[in-house]
Structure 1
Amino acid sequence: MSVILTAHTSATASPRDRAGHWRALVSGTFVPLDVIVHEDASPVGTITSRQLGRLRIAEVEAGPQTVSRSRRRISQGGAEFLTVTLQHRGTARLTQDGRQALVGPGGFTLADEGRPYLREHREHFRFTAFRLPKAALGVTDDELRTVTGTAFDGGSATAGLVAAYLKQLAAQPADLDPGTAHRLALTAADLLAALVHERGGLPARQLPEGTRSMLARVEDYVLRHLGEPDLSPARIAHANHISVRYLHKLFHTQGTTVSRWVQRQRLERCRRELSRPARAAPTISGVAARWGFVSTSHFSRSFRAAYGMSPREWQAMT
């Protein structure tokens, strides 16, 4: 998809209608939301947005306000999206999934648009929001819950990398070719997925050296044989001269099972192949067979369970 740059401002509305106009702009840019403006004289707000592949990037500047996503608003659409907000000016408080996150300039938060949340701005603010389909990350809703309602300030290497990449992404020119835009958006999704996975399991660097080495060897073996349908835990353990019980213990340290990890890797590669532009798009059955799924129907069920949509629906979003 080509990059499209649009700019909106509430200054075009009369002072009496400005708050209502601003609410419409916010919901039209992101997802259906409730907006309460906290100043008597509604301030002028601006939103500049563009599309980068499947990623919507919007810079927002306005005065004090509270934005909420209720169950009623969720029912109106947009539940399939994740929004990452990178703060530039002012502070914001995000409440979701029973957690509160206070974020200042340079930090960012993640909000799942499929669940209620509250975002409060008590002063003039500016931020850049990045909205993308949750399915692009290849993580489950439970895994995503580990990062919602949490402030990230670059304290960890992964969070710092995500913040730096998003900042650079927002600064890209508006005339990128569709192929480049698509790849940049995929990289953003991959970095966010890495952040989710870092929160979900024990980082490999914290494991004993011997365990870390064995886990890396096993994962390498799996990735080299991923397209083979008979890639079972017994075969993986035998090939690496360990017991099946020890194999399961290795993956337990990462908060998953070996079978789930294998399926996730297969689905991720299928998802990437199905993201190719329409002229180069492969068949769903061909992708399923190439990555070790025994039948197209099994692949389709697994894909929907992981990403909340069918392979054909995912292809149609490209």
Structure 2
Amino acid sequence: MDERFDSWHDHLFRQVVAPMVITCDDPEGFQGSIESMDLGAVHVSAVEASPCGAYRTSRMIRQSDPELLQLAFNLRGETAITQDRRCALSHPSDLVLYHTSRPHQIRTGFSKDATYGVMVVFPTTLLPLPSHKVERLTATPLSGREGIGALISKFLTHLVNGADQYGASDRSRLGVVLTDLLTTLLAHRLDADTALRTTTHQRVLLLQVHTFIQQHLTDPRLSPATIAAAHGISVRTLHRLFQTQEATLAEWIRAQRLERCRRDLCDPALSDRPIHAIATRWSFPVPAHFTRAFTAAYGVTPQEYRRRHQSHHALDWHA
């Protein structure tokens, strides 16, 4: 929704986060938009705003403190966040953590241009880390360009760009995944991986493995050994990760490759590409093996699946 400065205070900071004083050098020219979604106990907002400032005082905290942590993910512009005698100047792809329970200041738009980013708000109790250790990272830039930070950046970007694609049950699960990723990022910075619950670490590691596999599905050399080596774990540990899943490692890889083949067979732009070429691209070099696997997964042969889908598109075109 698009808003002017006079309503920005109430909507953004009273309803979404916590009471703050908002300032703006050009209130008449101010423009802002915010799109929000709830992921269970986690609240995510995509925020674009003209240059402005905000601060939260000790008096405000005494009057109202929801005891929330906030993570700012910067996508455009620069934002300065000050808390606990530290000031983080956030550039695009930076992540910055701060807390509603202690005074802080925020200033955006140093270049006079609008800033755009994602705000993640969640209760402090969701993090299985000692609060006094988490406080060491407030108002400290965390890189969103590498490692776990890059996973979080991509996760949040895809999340806000496809917000209308997720149902209520999807959103709750996504909230758990996001919390696990944030916990792992903070624990990594604190060198406190031992404080992580085993289940949290395993969920994040499994997500990393899934991402790696999906990025290398076209590589015929993809194997348990290469996947394990890329994540610094043993092949035995890798297989143990999948014991909690409905499919084994090999079954999951095959299912992902078959799904990519199915999508290509549906793609009108690839209608002239031979089926064996599509299969080979996704590491099914033997046509007979691909046909058997595809038929077992989808109930029809690849040829029949493509024919039906192309006929359906032709009917839609002439309707």
**TM-score interval for Structure 1 and Structure 2 normalised by the shorter chain:** 0.5 to 0.7
CA–CA separation in structure 1 for the residues paired with 2:117 and 2:63: 25
8 A Cα contact 1:8 1:25, kept in partner:
no
Q: Which among 2, 9, 18 is matched to residue 3 of structure 2?
A: 9
3-state SS, counterpart of residue 22 of structure 1? helix
CA–CA separation in structure 1 for the residues paired with 2:63 and 2:83: 19
8 A Cα contact 2:74 2:118, kept in partner:
yes
CA–CA separation in structure 2 for the residues paired with 1:118 and 1:161: 27
8 A Cα contact 1:143 1:197, kept in partner:
no
Deviation at 1:134, TM superposition (A): 1.5
* Residue 114 (structure 1) aligned with residue 104 (structure 2): no
3-state SS, counterpart of residue 119 of structure 1? strand
Partner residue in 2 for 1:152: 142
State how 1:153-168 maps to structure 2 within 5 Å. 153-154=143-144, 156-168=146-158
Aligned length: 193
* Structure with max Cα Rg: 2
Partner residue in 2 for 1:142: 132
* Residue 185 (structure 1) aligned with residue 179 (structure 2): no
Q: Which structure 1 residue ranges, 5 or more long, are not aligned?
A: 1-6, 11-18, 205-218, 224-318
Q: Which among 37, 50, 57 is matched to residue 50 of structure 1?
A: 37
- 1:8/1:135 CA distance change after superposition, 3 Å: farther
Deviation at 1:78, TM superposition (A): 4.2
Q: Which among 37, 57, 69 is matched to residue 70 of structure 1?
A: 57
State how 1:1-318 maps to structure 2 within 5 Å. 7-10=1-4, 19-27=5-13, 28-39=15-26, 41-121=28-108, 122=110, 123=112, 124-154=114-144, 156-201=146-191
Deviation at 1:103, TM superposition (A): 1.0
Deviation at 1:40, TM superposition (A): 5.4
CA–CA separation in structure 1 for the residues paired with 2:123 and 2:162: 21
* Amino acid corresponding to residue 109 of structure 1 in structure 2: V
| Alignment root-mean-square deviation, CA | 2.4
CA–CA separation in structure 1 for the residues paired with 2:27 and 2:154: 37
Deviation at 1:155, TM superposition (A): 5.0
CA–CA separation in structure 2 for the residues paired with 1:193 and 1:85: 15
TM-score by length of 2: 0.55
8 A Cα contact 1:71 1:115, kept in partner:
yes
CA–CA separation in structure 1 for the residues paired with 2:12 and 2:136: 27
CA–CA separation in structure 1 for the residues paired with 2:132 and 2:186: 10
- 1:146/1:164 CA distance change after superposition, 3 Å: farther
Deviation at 1:203, TM superposition (A): 7.2
CA–CA separation in structure 1 for the residues paired with 2:188 and 2:179: 14
CA–CA separation in structure 2 for the residues paired with 1:185 and 1:32: 24
List per-residue Cα deviations over 1:45-69 (Å, max 9, x = no partner).
2222121211211121111111112
Question: Larger % of helix: which?
Answer: 2
Q: Which structure 2 residue ranges, 5 or more long, are not aligned?
A: 202-319
TM-score by length of 1: 0.55
3-state SS, counterpart of residue 152 of structure 2? helix
8 A Cα contact 1:83 1:132, kept in partner:
yes
Greater RCO, CA 8 A, separation 6+? 1
Deviation at 1:77, TM superposition (A): 2.9
Q: Percent identity?
A: 23
CA–CA separation in structure 1 for the residues paired with 2:167 and 2:63: 32
- 1:173/1:166 CA distance change after superposition, 3 Å: closer
8 A Cα contact 2:73 2:117, kept in partner:
yes
